[in-house]
């Protein structure tokens, strides 16, 4: 795509006038949707987002546009300078300093994804349809994305990176039951499609139905369920601003055990097991951050402001939020990786003995961030275990719980990890986990044969 060359960035900054910061995101997104085993929607879109920030006399103003034309940037500068007089003194934000070459330690761009065409997406769909059990129907989506990300400022910082991404999700349905699977990678040639389709088939196995009463149950949370809950925990508990302001469940507890001894958690934008990314919206290189070390709080993520507040020796970790981001201005984790354990999938079931096996969760909402109190529902293959074996299907249910309590109750961590993502987090890599107590608050619909 190569919409912008790094050599162009200083020229564009001159149009804004120093001190100034510029971020450019150019994206090509191509999508195939399907339902009832038929293609329902095909879409291709190219988007350009330009974020510009200027600082004058200790005041900062920012704006967005969808053009890199010189006339557009001059007009943008004029509007920003007109806004500055209405701002209080001392409201400026410092520009990031150049700190080396930057960039991810793992590859972010793959030709297999960048050059993918509609025929590649339909080929994946045909493969998925062939893998479905007889009588099942398939819904979901397959998408290829190419993103070009450039960041520069008048202090000499220049970053430029291309990132590719392929994501496929499948929902199989058969005789009133459903099963979900997701495959995600930067390299289309390495997409773990076979493993995803096997997971989808396993969730459709015919089983008797069993009703479920409210109450606490032992449970095995599948990788995609773990991904969703871990992402929300990271968002509300492991950001630098919440931690420093006393708004996090982890505030004031650095070096203390706040989760199960079985849990070791990192944030690392350079790890190829996730979706590698080199730097944040400020152009600050992403650093590996130890968050939990066998349940002990080892760190939180920072942007430039919270790093300065925390201590003179702490550096920004590459987690600044872009201006106007709909998920807030706080730095939050972006590339979570939960260390794998030693348990096989069968070991997790045996360890749970009697209880629930949950494929994924959905509609999870935060009720109280400091208490990590959330509510949500299970979805798709929600199964019943007896003596370490899956023996029945149970209805979907609503749960309300404190994520901190759930993570403290983790008994076993699986060896097999899956990638996932959320709308506010680039990637999360997690295995299945066995927890001692998952509360069933209310059954959504009674199970029927």
CATH architecture observed for domain 6-201: 2-Layer Sandwich (3.30)
pLDDT at 57: 84
What is the share, in percent, of the chain residues with pLDDT greater than 90?
A: 84
pLDDT at 448: 45
- Whether the pLDDT of residue 152 is over 50: the answer is yes
pLDDT at 100: 61
User: 10 Å Cβ neighbour count for 92?
Assistant: 18
Using CA atoms, how far apart are residues 431 and 343, in angstroms rounded to an integer? Answer: 10
From 59-73, 173-187, 246-260, the region with the lowest mean pLDDT? 59-73
Structural domain boundaries in the chain: 6-201, 207-443
From 155-159, 214-218, 251-255, 298-302, the region with the lowest mean pLDDT? 155-159
User: 10 Å Cβ neighbour count for 147?
Assistant: 19
What's the mean pLDDT in 232-236? 97
Give the length of the chain.
449
Rounded to two decimals, the pTM is: 0.94
pLDDT at 99: 67
From 12-26, 101-115, 167-181, 394-408, the region with the lowest mean pLDDT? 101-115
Q: Are 204 and 135 in contact (CB under 8 A)?
A: no
Residues 6+ apart with CB under 8 A from 98: 155, 156, 157, 158
Torsion angle (degrees, nearest 10) of CA 264, 267, 269, 271: 0
Using CA atoms, how far apart are residues 137 and 38, in angstroms rounded to an integer? Answer: 9
Render pLDDT for 410-445 as a digit per residue (tens, 0 to 9).
999 999 999 999 999 999 999 999 999 999 998 986
What's the mean pLDDT in 326-350? 95
| Interstrand relation of 355-368 and 215-221 (parallel, antiparallel or unpaired) | parallel
């Amino acid at each position: 795509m190569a919409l912008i060359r790094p050599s162009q960035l200083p020229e564009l900054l001159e149009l804004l006038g120093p001190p100034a910061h510029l971020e450019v995101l150019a994206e090509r997104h191509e999508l195939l949707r399907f339902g009832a085993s038929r293609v329902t929607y095909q879409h291709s879109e190219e988007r350009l987002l330009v974020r510009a920030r200027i600082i004058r006399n200790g005041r900062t103003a920012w704006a967005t546009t969808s053009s890199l034309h010189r006339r557009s940037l001059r007009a943008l500068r004029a509007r920003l300078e007109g806004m500055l007089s209405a701002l209080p003194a001392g409201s400026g934000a410092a520009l990031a300093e150049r700190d080396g070459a930057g960039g991810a330690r793992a590859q972010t761009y793959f030709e297999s994804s960048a050059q993918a065409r509609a025929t590649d997406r339909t080929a994946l769909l045909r493969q998925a349809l062939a893998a479905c059990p007889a009588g099942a129907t398939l819904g979901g989506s397959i998408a290829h994305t190419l993103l070009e990300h450039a960041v520069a400022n008048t202090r000499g910082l220049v970053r430029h990176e291309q990132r590719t991404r392929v994501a496929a999700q499948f929902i199989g349905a058969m005789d009133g039951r459903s099963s979900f699977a997701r495959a995600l990678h930067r390299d289309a040639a390495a997409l773990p499609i076979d493993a995803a389709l096997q997971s989808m088939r396993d969730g459709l196995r015919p089983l008797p139905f069993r009703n479920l009463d409210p109450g606490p149950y032992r449970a095995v949370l599948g990788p995609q369920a773990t991904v969703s809950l871990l992402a929300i925990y990271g968002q509300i508990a492991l950001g630098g601003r919440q931690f420093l302001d006393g708004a996090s469940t982890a505030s004031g507890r650095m070096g203390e055990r706040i989760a199960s001894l079985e849990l070791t958690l990192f944030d690392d934008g350079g790890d190829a097991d996730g979706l590698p990314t080199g730097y944040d919206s400020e152009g600050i290189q992403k650093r590996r951050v130890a968050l939990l070390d066998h349940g002990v709080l080892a760190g939180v993520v920072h942007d430039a402001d919270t790093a300065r507040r925390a201590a003179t020796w702490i550096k920004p970790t590459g987690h600044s939020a872009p201006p106007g981001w709909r998920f807030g201005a706080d730095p939050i984790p972006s590339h979570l990786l939960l260390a794998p354990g030693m348990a096989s999938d069968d070991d997790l079931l045996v360890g749970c003995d009697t209880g629930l096996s949950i494929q994924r969760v959905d509609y999870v909402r935060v009720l109280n961030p400091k208490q990590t109190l959330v509510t949500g529902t299970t979805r798709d293959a929600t199964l019943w275990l007896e003596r370490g074996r899956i023996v029945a299907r149970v209805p979907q249910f609503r749960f309300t719980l404190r994520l901190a309590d759930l993570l403290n109750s983790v008994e076993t961590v699986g060896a097999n990890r899956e990638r996932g993502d959320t709308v506010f987090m680039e990637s999360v890599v997690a295995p299945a986990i066995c927890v001692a107590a998952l509360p069933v608050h209310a059954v959504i619909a009674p199970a029927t044969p």
